[in-house]
Amino acid sequence: MTKTAERQRTATAVPPVPAPAPAGDRFRRRLIDQVRAYGFLLGGLLCFVLFSWYPAIRAVVIAFQKYTPGSPPQWVGTANFTRVWHDPDFTAAWRNTLYFTLLALLIGFAVPFVLALVLNELRHAKAFFRVVVYLPVMIPPVVSALLWKWFYDPGAGLANEALRFVHLPTSNWSNGTDTALVSLVIVATWANMGGTVLVYLAALQSIPGELYEAAELDGANLLQRIRHVTVPQTRFVIMMLMLLQIIATMQVFTEPFVITGGGPESATVTVLYLIYKYAFLYNDFGGACALSVMLLLLLGAFSAGYLRLTRSEGDTA
């Protein structure tokens, strides 16, 4: 603070008297300014051009090509799309991805919200809860995936041990065709919930206490207060997180790759996993890019919805 004050004082003490520059000089000055500005901008800009914009355009181009690294690409029209479309894994991958997203919304959405609601009421050990709930987020996803793969082990896995402990029938978890996807959703929720809980907590804390007081004076009970005060007050954050979560879970890869390898019987093949398979197992980059374009369009639509939401709410808030 004192430093800036000092600077300002010296600035006013020696008033700069810029001489009116001739037109040619001004143009040169501006040119120099631009060159300097682009000097600062260049490194970052180049990386965006190379690794963001160019690949995005290339995805669309290669989607219509037969592309083998090292040899000139050939245009094949929509052949990549039709080939991918007729792959039996295609339907499975989209169904699994959408189902995964839906389940992740149901579980990975309701659980953190309820948890945040309860945590917000607790007046002790606040820091402890926040640290503990965020701990799994900081564990590398690969480690969480491997850890849960071990828990789901049909032999000495902890998941079945827990079920046996409370005398429930054991499950096949990630090894059963009908339970595999849910098992993966549990892992993803466990690993990512911390961030969601923290954001909800922040939103809950911004609710003015008078609203609850007024509601209570009007005779609203606990559930009514949640319904008519908490939910409307946090609706924007809820919607925002929901969209972000859809976008994130539609790109799920690590859990199916590490835990199930897409199995059993393609029960956990996701779209991104299929893209990976096309590129690195089948060496079919055209097919991989065709799939990428489809995923891109769908997620782009969600992102656009997200942006519109934040914009409109930002204006009214």
Partner 1 sequence: MTATRTLISPATLARPRGRAIYWTVFTAVVVLFALAFLFPVYWMVTGAMKSPDEVARTPPTLVPQHWHTGAYTDAWDLMQLPQHLWNTVVQAAGAWALQLVFCTAAAYALSKLRPAFGKVILGGILATLMVPAQALVVPKYLTVADLPLLHTSLLNDPLAIWLPAVANAFNLYLLKRFFDQLPRDVLEAAEIDGAGKLRTLWSVVLPMSRPVLGVVSIFALVAVWQDFLWPLMVFSDTDKQPISVALVQLSQNIQLTVLLAAMVIAGIPMVALFLVFQRHIIAGISAGSTKG
Binders of partner 1 among residues 67 to 126 (CB under 8 A) are: 67, 69, 117-125
Based on the shown chain and the rule CB under 8 A, indicate whether residue 186 belongs to the binding site for partner 1: no
Out of 78, 82, 91, 206, the only residue in the binding site for partner 1 (CB under 8 A) is: 206
By beta-carbon proximity to partner 1, the closer residue of 54 and 178 is 54
The token pair at 263 is: 């199995």
Residue 301 backbone phi and psi in degrees, to 5: -65, -40
Q: Which amino acid does the sequence have at 101?
A: T
Q: Which of 105, 253, 263, 264 binds partner 1 (CB under 8 A)?
A: 253
Q: Helix crossing, 54-62 with 285-316: angle to 10°?
A: 130
Binders of partner 1 among residues 257 to 286 (CB under 8 A) are: 257-258, 272, 275-276, 278-280, 285
Is 1 one of the binding residues for partner 1 (CB under 8 A)? no
Q: Pick one of 20, 22, 24, 314: the residue that binds partner 1 (CB under 8 A).
A: 314
C-beta closer to partner 1: residue 102 or 307: 307
Q: Determine which residue in the list 92, 104, 116, 203 makes contact with partner 1, applying CB under 8 A.
A: 203
Total chain residues near partner 1 (CB under 8 A): 114
Q: Region of 219 please: left (phi>0), alpha (psi -120 to 50) or beta.
A: left
Give the one residue of 20, 24, 44, 77 binding partner 1; rule: CB under 8 A: 44
Is the CB of residue 197 less than 8 Å from the CB of residue 133? yes
187, 262 contact by CB (below 8 A): no
Q: CB of residue 56 vs partner 1: minimum separation in angstroms?
A: 6
Q: Name the residue nearer to partner 1 (CB basis): 106 or 118.
A: 118
The number of CA neighbours under 13 Å toward the Cβ of 246 is: 17
- Write out the H or E segment, with its range, that includes residue 110: helix 88-121
Distance CA 144, CA 191 (A): 7
Q: Which of residues 143-182 bind partner 1 (CB under 8 A)?
A: 143, 146-147, 150-151, 155-156, 158, 161, 164-165
212 burial via Cβ count (<10 Å: 0-12, 13-18, 19+): middle
